[in-house]
Amino acid sequence: MSNLFQSYLFSLIFWVSLSLGCFGLMLLHHTIRGKWGLPILRFLEAGSMTLVLMGVLFLVVFAGLPYLYPWARPDEVAKDPILQHRAGYYQLWFFAARFALYFAVWILISWLLIKWTRLQEKTGDSRYAQKRTNLSAPAIIAYAVTVTFASTDWVMSLDAHWSSTMFGFLYMASQALTAMAFAIFLLTWRASQKPYSEVVNPALTRDLGNILLAFTLLWAYLSFSQYLIIWSANLPELIPYYIKRNKGGWNWLPTAMLFGQFFVPFLLLLIPSVKAKTRNLMMIAGWILVWRIVDIFWQIIPVLRPDGFSIRATDPIVFLAIGALWMGFFFWQLKQRSPLPTHDPRLQEALDHA
């Protein structure tokens, strides 16, 4: 039973991260209106809508709270003053209310933005673009606040005493990296099919590759900063986080990640000719997605399985099951609308020229 919930939480956090990454990138696109965001906007919109599904799937976690979180085990709280101090915050109803609030904010903003894109496409009224920008800019703040609290609630609190102030930001960077890699993978995968073939060109793939490079760097920078600060301070409340994740065979995961998640994509994405070819970019994006799974696995599972490195059968099964639901929902959403957005004249220009 506890295996099942461990696998479930790990899988859920990965897929929620992908949804939230799509959501965050959509906010970014509507705020700055970069041309590079248009070809992947539909992926971001459909990815944001999967938050509805993720909200429902998250309810299962409530059934397994004591299997996962130390604050949900009364006997453990009884002998731990720090957990008692935090008990007010981690009351079940408050935890549930926060969960409801996060998803309400995310889904409401997604729904409005997608509605305004649709209305603009139907009516051609460019005032909707300004409405989206006006909502998206403050929504990025709401996104930052909610993701910080959500990552604290769902992941940070797995370690009874641990805290890290950059954890929320690390999650945002990690989500953006996941979603960017996912969107680039889909776009480059379909690059030879119409209508994508008409908008995918070396200038676009170079932009997308550079953004992927920037998020790779941001992720590495934040991951390492967090590690360096905690390693330097060496405090008894903080250091166990890394000790638990670096013993009993777990240590080869971060070592592998240093190369797999950082050096390999970083060095490859520096080369201009790599970014000019859709096939190369697709392989790098796919590679990054695999390492995103490893990273989330390493953050969540070691504290739940302190006896040493282990992958249980439930891990891949539950991961793929939630993934299948996610993909089903995503492609169903994607099919509802045209493959490329039609509201922006810049993209229409590119299509007309083709």
Partner 1 sequence: MSTQEIHVHEAESAQPRANLYGMVAEFDHADDLLHAAQQTYAAGYRKIDAYSPFPIHGMPEAIGFKEGRVGLITFLGGVLGALTGAGLQIYTTVIDYPMNVGGRPLMSIPSFFPATYELTILFASFGAAFGMLALNGLPRPHHPIFNAPNFDKASQNKFFLCIEAADPKFDRVETRRYLEGLHPTAVSDVEK
> What SS3 state is found at 313?
coil
Query: Is the Cβ of residue 94 or residue 259 nearer to partner 1 in the bound state?
Result: 259
- Single residue of 124, 249, 272, 328 touching partner 1 by CB under 8 A: 272
Instruction: Report in angstroms how near the CB of residue 228 gets to partner 1 at its nearest.
Output: 5
The region of 35-43, 59-67, 230-238, 314-322 touching partner 1 under the rule CB under 8 A is: 230-238
Instruction: Please enumerate in sequence order all residues whose Cβ is within 8 A of that of 160, keeping only pairs 6 or more positions apart, or say none.
Output: 70, 71, 76, 80, 82, 83
> What SS3 state is found at 128?
helix
- Single residue of 32, 108, 228, 317 touching partner 1 by CB under 8 A: 228
Instruction: Report in angstroms how near the CB of residue 277 gets to partner 1 at its nearest.
Output: 14
Query: Is the Cβ of residue 68 or residue 211 nearer to partner 1 in the bound state?
Result: 211
Task: Tell me the C-alpha to C-alpha distance, in Å, between residue 98 and each of 152, 171, 309, 312, 354.
Answer: 11, 18, 32, 31, 48
Core vs surface per residue 25-58: b (16+ CB within 10 A) or e: bbbbbbbeeeebbbbbbbbbbbbbbbbbbbbebb
- Is residue 231 close enough to count as binding partner 1 by CB under 8 A? yes
The region of 30-38, 65-73, 139-147, 228-236 touching partner 1 under the rule CB under 8 A is: 228-236
- Is residue 224 close enough to count as binding partner 1 by CB under 8 A? yes
Q: What is the DSSP letter of 157?
A: G
Residues 340 and 41: their CA atoms lie apart, in Å, by 8
Q: What is the DSSP letter of 82?
A: H
- Is residue 36 close enough to count as binding partner 1 by CB under 8 A? no
Query: Is the Cβ of residue 165 or residue 234 nearer to partner 1 in the bound state?
Result: 234
- Is residue 353 close enough to count as binding partner 1 by CB under 8 A? no
- Is residue 270 close enough to count as binding partner 1 by CB under 8 A? yes
Q: Are 216 and 177 in contact (CB under 8 A)?
A: yes
Cis peptide, bond prior to residue 202, ω within 30 of zero: no
Instruction: Report in angstroms how near the CB of residue 166 gets to partner 1 at its nearest.
Output: 15
Query: Is the Cβ of residue 272 or residue 306 nearer to partner 1 in the bound state?
Result: 272
Decide: residue 306, CB within 10 A, 0-12 exposed, 13-18 middle, 19+ buried: exposed
- Single residue of 165, 234, 307, 338 touching partner 1 by CB under 8 A: 234
- Is residue 338 close enough to count as binding partner 1 by CB under 8 A? no
- Is residue 354 close enough to count as binding partner 1 by CB under 8 A? no
Q: Which two tokens stand for residue 178?
A: 């996941």
Site for partner 1 in 160-219 (CB under 8 A): none
The region of 14-22, 102-110, 231-239, 336-344 touching partner 1 under the rule CB under 8 A is: 231-239
Instruction: Report in angstroms how near the CB of residue 211 gets to partner 1 at its nearest.
Output: 18
Instruction: Please enumerate in sequence order all residues whose Cβ is within 8 A of that of 100, keeping only pairs 6 or more positions apart, or say none.
Output: none
State the residues that interact with partner 1 by CB under 8 A.
224, 227-228, 231-232, 234, 270, 272
